[in-house]
Each structure stands twice: as structure tokens, then as C-alpha cells.
Amino acid sequence: MSARLVIARAGARSLLQDTGFRGGRGIGVPGAGALDRDALYLLNRLLGNDTDAAAIEIALVPPKLRAEDGPVRLALGPGLSGQVSGDNPRPVGAWTAFTLHPGETVDLRFEAGCPVALIGIGGEIDLAYALHSRSTLPRAGLGPFGRKLEDGDAIPISAPAADPGDRTFAAPPRPESGPLRAVPGPQAEWFTEASRETFFGAEYSVGIETDRMGMRLDGPALSHSERGADIVSDGIAPGAIQVPGSGQPIVLLADAQTTGGYPKIATVIGADLSRLARLAPGDRLRFTAVTVEQAEAAARDRRAELDQIAECVVRANAGRIDPRALWQANLVGGAVDALCPDHFPHHPEPESHP
Amino acid sequence: MELIAARPLADRAVTFELATRVGPEAAARVGAAQARLAGLLEAGELPGALELSRAFCSITLHYDPLRGRQADLVARVRAALEDTAPAAHADGRLWRLPCCYEGEDLDDLAARLELSREEIAVRHAETVHEVYAIGFLPGLPFMGELPEGFSVPRRTSPRTRVPQGSVAIANGLTVIYPFESPGGWHIVGRCPVPLFDTERATPALLAAGDRVRFDPVARNEFDRIGAALDCGDIDPASFAEAAR
């Protein structure tokens, strides 16, 4: 009997997501898929999966998962940690792949300020595809479950992943700072010169009204030029920043409608979309203008960085300090004392797990 | 045809603007361009291109920046469109969709347009509606034109729940809501035919370029057709009358 990952407690918004639907935009189906594609790519590499394999994207209240009928390989994305209970209770950290044995459960926790996170699933998921994807779009009932995961749902795993023990990246990605890069357009000229300058200079904060469709920004209002605040609806891609008549920008995200009728002042570049995904209401952000060519170069650079990270996987000894892993991390990170747990605020205390 | 503008959506997509005003002329341009670009995409002549989506006056091409460059794609599209001529209904089907004209906003519209409920239903049903684009919701058709004198803006206060199948008008266009949804258009009737079904090979029943005529049906006939569709006795595809 194949292993199953059972959703023991669903959490608030747990959705199966991968790299998104393909071929649906012409019939009104957005790409959907995981908001944090960089994390999805890295977790799938860490698990030895295809890089477009589906993961569970969680938000607000984290779930509790149980393995049944066989072991299930999981990997936690940034902003997450977990406690495994069963015969061998142990903590697991972010960027760690581990095996959940049959009967064991893992209770996930968000780190403070983390709005959305991913749980990678190792092996081959035995669920149907729609539009080349196992992503979920609840408003159209699309996806293997067609809705967010509920208590008792089970994800069947037909081909289990290899179990090389707990594994992590020697040098996981570091949080980035600095302004988000955006290409002006598709409708930059629908805004006054002054408003374009404001947009690429002012500080905005993430509004409360933020979901998988879009992120409302609070900050200086933008004025439309004499062309007005309505356009003939045209195509949208994630990262497009539309500005309705109120002048307050909205960054459109994975589940946004495929077309929109408000002018879009700029579009966040692909390489910075994952950073957007990790912003929570109240977080501050700025934008800086780049060209299409710079955006394309950034996409190539990002893929090279991710591949470099993915190529250096080391043992993760959950609950104990693994001097070798930390030492290697130090080589990259530079200025941290690896043996002092205080420098790793979310690292479990070694005393509790001798 | 001339490309009015190529508008970037950063390194993910580029929108090709082909017309400036919603209507049959724009539809003819966009339809012909869509057919041409879909052919190029299929033939692998748009390096890095992933998919196309069609709007009223434009086409958006989504691409993978790791496998293609926008400047190259724009140059190829511009060249291809130069020898592409606008063509009305190039490959559309004609649909006859049942509609029960008992919509929530008929009385309000009748007062506003100075027509009777019956006149609105008759004139809406005798119009051939062309599908200009599918969007807003999966499978939702935007169709034009409305009969003369049917010009109304959106409702000032949108409904939080527009029932599935609602046929609604605003801004010179007709839509059918494939799912229950918030919405601000004026509801004239209800269509029982499901417009989006992921079990079908092509989930959306209608495609841009198709034409639709509504067959007015009474409430009991609407219920009968709906039940027959539910239990599989009627195939939704059977409402397509003819392929051109």
C-alpha cells in the first residue's frame, strides 16, 4: 500500500500548489501556483523531485501532518519549523528535508512575521493534473482537491523519495533587502510624471487586504494623467501593479484575474516575486525602476544562484548542532560564531535534546 | 496589420496592442492576430513563449525569460503581424444557448431603458453576440455588441453574489457568469448550460471568436434543461449549432 500524507489538522489556508496552470490564461484561468517560486524550486531540489512538483502552501494558521501506510519525505521552507511527535520526537527546522515515518505527526509553526510558507513533499504524488498542474484555484474548483485542504484529506504518494536522513543546504538563501525591482509599464504613461517619480521613490507598506490575488499597498496616492483611470481590459501577469481611481496601488499576484481594466504603472520583475510573497501586512517596501533586459538578466542570475545553493546539501542534525554544517555555513556567511546557539535565534536548544 | 504598441509586463509577458476601441473591428484584428501567433507558438517559432491570452483589443504573450528574450519575441511578432489581415469569425462556432429572461434587474433596466421587460428579452435574444474574450472568471465570455439603446454602465453598487449562469449586461457587452461570484452587471436572465468544466478536454465551453444567440425559454423549460444537463442526458457541446 502506498504511503499517504494525511492532513491531521488543516490550518487556515493550506493549498496544494506547484509552478501553476499552463494554457489556461486564454480561458480566464490564471497561472496560480506557489507564491514563493524560489522556495518551491529549492525544496524540490532538496527532495530530489522534479522542480515543478507540488508542495503545500500554508498561511496564517499552520497545519499538522501525519504519515500513514509508509514513510513520507517532507521539507520545510523558510519561515517554518516543526515538532515531530511519535516514537522519536524531534524538532525540524527551516530548509530541512526529513522523513516522517508511519504514525508520526509533524506540528508546524510559523516564525514571527512569516505570512506564507511551503512544505515540500518528496516522491511522486498520485493525484490528477489539470492544465498541466496540480495547483489549486478554489474559485473555479480547479486542482486535485478543488479547494483548500481540510482535516482528514490524504495526499497519496505512489513513488517514495529516497531517504538519506535529515538534509539541509550548506548555505540556504539569505533574506534580501533593498527596493523591489520593477519595469515601468504596461501603462506607465497613464500616470503623471510626478506620480511616476513618487512611485519609484516613496515608501509603501503592505495593507491588510492581501491575499493570493493581490496585495494592497498603503502610501502616497498616485494620480492618473489625462488618459484617466480606466483602460480597455488587457492581460495581467503576476507582479503587475494596477492603480484604480483611488490612487492606491495593488500588486497583482498568482491568483489574479487574467485581465484587468485599471492602468498598471509597473510590473515587479520575476526575480523579486518570491520576495513579495514573504511580505506581511505592515511590512515596508520601495520600488526601483529597471529595464526588461535587466529583468531578464536578473532572472538568469537568480536561477544560477538557486542552482549553486541546491548543489551543496549537507546533513542536518535536527535538535543538535552539526558542526560541519554550521562550519560550512560560516564559510559563506562570514561573521557568525557557529558554536554559539544565540546567533541562531530559531535553532533548538541543544540541552533539551542531548 | 499594424502593431500599435508592445507593452512589457516585466520579464514575464508582453501585451501587443492591436486596437483602441472595443467592438467587432477590434475583434476581427485580435482574432486574426491570435490565430497567427498561436500558429507560430505551435511551430516553435516564438522562442521561450509559453501561452497567449486574448483581450478585447490586445493579446498578451507569456514567456520564460530563461528560454527567450522579449526584444526577440516582439520583433518576431511585429514581422508576423505585418502580413496578417483582420478577419471576422475566422474559425468560430455558432451557439444557441437557452436563456430564461427573468433576471433580477429586468424591472430596473426596463425603467432605465424605457422598454418593457418583454422588449428587452426579445431584442437581446434576436442579437448575435460575438465572444470577444474569455476572462475575469474561468470560462466567462465577454460578448458584443448589445442592441442600440441598451447602453448602461455597471450598477453603482455591485452585488456580492451573482448566481451561477446569470446573463448580465453593461458597458455595451453581455456576459454569462460561469460561477457564483461578486459582480456589478445588470442581470437579465439565466443560462443553464455549464460554461466551465475541468473534466472536459477543453474546460471552457466557449472560445473567443464564437458567436452566441440566446433562445428564450420559460422557467419550467429552463429547469428541465438544467436537470438533463446535470444528469448527463444533454451534452453541453450539443448547443453548438454549426462550425464555420
Q: What is the Cα–Cα distance from B225 to B134, expressed in whole angstroms?
A: 24
Give the pLDDT mean for A135-158.
95
Interface of B with A in 165-184 (CB under 8 A): 179, 181
Please tell me the predicted confidence (pLDDT) of residue B242.
60
Report chain B residues whose CB lies below 8 A from the CB of A31. Answer: 62
Q: Is B231 left (phi over 0), alpha (psi -120 to 50) or beta?
A: alpha
Spatial distance between the Cα atoms of B141 and A33, rounded to a whole number of angstroms:
24
Domains located in chain B, CATH noted: 5-82 (3.30.1360.40), 93-243 (2.40.100.10)
Q: Which three cell numbers stand for residue A143?
A: 486542482
Q: Do A258 and B9 touch (CB under 8 A)?
A: no
pLDDT for the residue B154: 84
Residues in chain A closer than 8 A to B56 (CB atoms): 232-234
Chain A interface includes B48 (CB < 8 A): no
From the list B9, B22, B70, the residue facing A240 with the nearest CB is: B9
Percentage of residues in chain B having pLDDT higher than 70? 98
Q: Which residues contact A101 (CB under 8 A, 6 or more apart)?
A: A67, A71, A86, A87, A88
Contacts of B93 (CB under 8 A, 6+ apart): B207, B210, B211, B240, B241, B242, B243, B244
Cβ burial, residue B41 (10 Å; 0-12/13-18/19+): middle
Set of chain A residues whose Cβ sits within 8 Å of the Cβ of B179: 139-140
Residue A138 pLDDT > 70, yes or no?
yes
| A27/B134 touch (CB, cutoff 8 Å), yes or no | yes
A124 Cβ contact partners less than 8 Å away, ≥ 6 residues apart: A157, A158, A159
Interface of A with B in 84-123 (CB under 8 A): none
Mean pLDDT of chain A: 89
Q: What residue spans define the domains of chain A?
A: 3-169, 180-304, 319-352
Report the chain B residue with the minimal C-alpha distance to residue A271: B11
Q: How many CB atoms lie within 10 A of CB B196?
A: 22
d(CA A228, CA A245): 8
Give the C-alpha separation, B188 to A280, whole Å: 42
Q: How far is A292 from chain B (nearest CA, A)?
A: 6
Chain B residue closest to A242 (CA)? B9
Full-model pTM? 0.88
* Poorest-pLDDT segment among A96-110, A307-321, B149-163, B226-240: A307-321
pLDDT score for A324: 41
Does A235 sit within 8 Å of B59, measured CB to CB? yes
B158 close contact with A: CB closer than 8 A: no
CA gap A142, B135 in Å, rounded: 16
Of residues A333 and A196, the one with the higher pLDDT is: A196
Cell numbers given for A289: 525602476
Q: What is the DSSP annotation of chain B?
A: ----EEEEETTTEEEEE--SS-SHHHHHHHHHHHHHHHHHHHTT-STTEEEEEE-SSEEEEEE-TTT--HHHHHHHHHHHHHT----TTSS-EEEEEEEB---TTHHHHHHHHT--HHHHHHHHHTSPEEEEEE-SSTTPEEEEPPPTT------SS-EEEEPTTEEEEETTEEEE-SS-EEE-SEEEEE--S--B-TTSSSSBS--TT-EEEEEE--HHHHHHHHHHHHTTSS-GGGGEEEE-
| Burial of A158 per CB tally in 10 Å (0-12, 13-18, 19+) | exposed
What is the pLDDT at residue A342?
A: 39
Given CB atoms, is B23 within the 8 Å cutoff of chain A? no
Model pLDDT for residues A102-120, shown as the tens digit of each residue:
999 999 999 988 889 999 9
Q: Which chain A residues are Cβ-neighbours of B21 within 8 angstroms?
A: 232
Residues A29, A131: contact at Cβ < 8 Å? yes
pLDDT in tens, B63-109: 999 999 999 999 999 999 999 999 876 678 999 999 999 999 999 99
pLDDT at A335 over 90: no
CA distance A317 to chain B (A): 35
Q: What residues in B contact A238, CB-CB < 8 Å?
A: 12
- Distance (Å, whole) CA A196 – CA A185: 10
User: In A, which residues are within 8 Å of B6 by CB distance?
Assistant: none
Q: Choose between A319 and A214: higher pLDDT.
A: A214
Which chain A residues contact residue B20 at CB under 8 A?
Answer: 232
Cα gap B150→A217, rounded to integer Å: 37
Residue of A nearest to B21 (CA): A232
Contact yes or no for B203 and A29 at CB 8 A: yes
Nearest CB among A25, A182, A271 relative to B51 is that of A25
Query: B8 pLDDT band (50/70/90 cuts)?
Result: very high
CB contact under 8 Å between A234 and B57, yes or no, is: yes
Average pLDDT in the A309-328 region? Answer: 67
Measured at the CA of B222, the angle between CA B221 and CA B224, to 5 degrees, comes to: 60
A237 contacts on B by Cβ (under 8 Å): 9-10, 12-13, 60, 62
Q: List phi, psi (to 5°) of B90.
A: -55, -45
Residues 277-306 of A with CB under 8 A from B: 292-293, 295-296, 298-300, 303
CATH number of A180-304: 2.40.100.10
**Chain A contacts of B10, Cβ < 8 Å?**
182-183, 237, 239, 267-270, 292, 295
CA distance A63 to A80: 11
Q: Tell me if chain A has a CB within 8 Å of the CB of B200.
A: no
Q: In this predicted structure, what is the pLDDT of residue A320?
A: 54
CA distances from residue A195 to A189, A190, A202, A243 in whole angstroms, order as listed: 10, 10, 10, 11
Q: Is B21 on the interface with A (CB under 8 A)?
A: yes
Q: How confident is the model at residue A353 (pLDDT cuts 50, 70, 90)?
A: very low
